A = this chain, B = another copy of it.
Amino acid sequence: MSDRTVFFISDGTGITAETFGNAILAQFDFKPRRVRLPFVDTPDKAHQAVRQINHTAELEGKKPLVFTTLVDRQAVNILQEGCKGMLMDMFGTFVQPLEQELSIKSHHRVGRFSDVSKSREYHDRIEAINYSLAHDDGQSNRDLTGADVILVGVSRSGKTPTSLYLAMQHGLKAANYPLIPEDFDRRQLPPALVPHKKKLFGLTIAPERLSEIRSERRPGSRYADLQNCRMEVSDAEAMMRRAGIRWLSTTTKSIEEIATTILQEVRPERLSY
């Protein structure tokens, strides 16, 4: 742990400030202390932030790093004038040049989430989360016509977290459906999926990794046994190949990376924007 502190300051949730700051910090091999200051939406709170930053600067004898996505220029000015940190001001840096290029003024409005109860997009996102939950792990065949994408793969190949991520971040109705030994015996896709072949996307995984993951849940079981995992994975891949389903391996991929690839491949028409 370094003796340097990083502040993330925002008038809203601070999600953008953290994404921005963390992406930049990831370029450096050091582990600062992190402090989030969300909802800094009055001059009072901006002054309070300045006091906190300057107190830290004194204690540590080093400039704190301050990532801000403050929209309100008055708040930014308070920070600029008073604070002893190194200010990285995302809006100040990019918004003004954009105003010139676009020949329109920015409106300095705070937050992208205001009044969500009236937003169609937000409503659709919540609907998508509910849909994906109801169609997790083949729980329901009903209404698969409504799915934007249906993930298939053996148990623990990453279908559930990926479906939820696609719903939560991209507003996609993402169902998921397990491929199980009975399907391999019949050498056929689960019948419920056949009418929806265009929407299917397969996830596979290295048998060694699968066995590791399954062992955490059911150590010593046939389910987790490496030999069994090898057979299931090879059967599942053969089935996806025969059926002409696009697929990828999740072995070393994060749900974000899996989701991005699926979006590129499936290109569902109804994207969140």
Contact = CB atoms under 8 A, between A and B. Distances in A.
Contacts of A14: 260
Q: Assembly of this chain: how many copies?
A: 2
Nearest to A108: B27
A251 interface: yes
Contacts of A129: 160-161, 164
A106 B13 contact: no
B22 A19 contact: no
Given A113-B256, A117-B252, A257-B113, A86 B101 contact: yes
Interface stretch (A28-36, A177-185, A187-195, A234-242): A28-36
B98 A65 contact: yes
A164 B164 CA distance: 8
A145 interface: no
Contact of A26 (B65, B104, B112): B112
Interface stretch (A46-54, A87-95, A147-155, A196-204): A87-95
Contacts of A126: 161, 255
A27 B107 contact: yes
Contact of A23 (B90, B116, B256): B90
A20 B22 contact: no
12 contacts: A13-B256, A15-B260, A16-B20, A19-B20, A20-B90, A24-B94, A28-B98, A30-B102, A63-B101, A65-B98, A86-B97, A129-B164
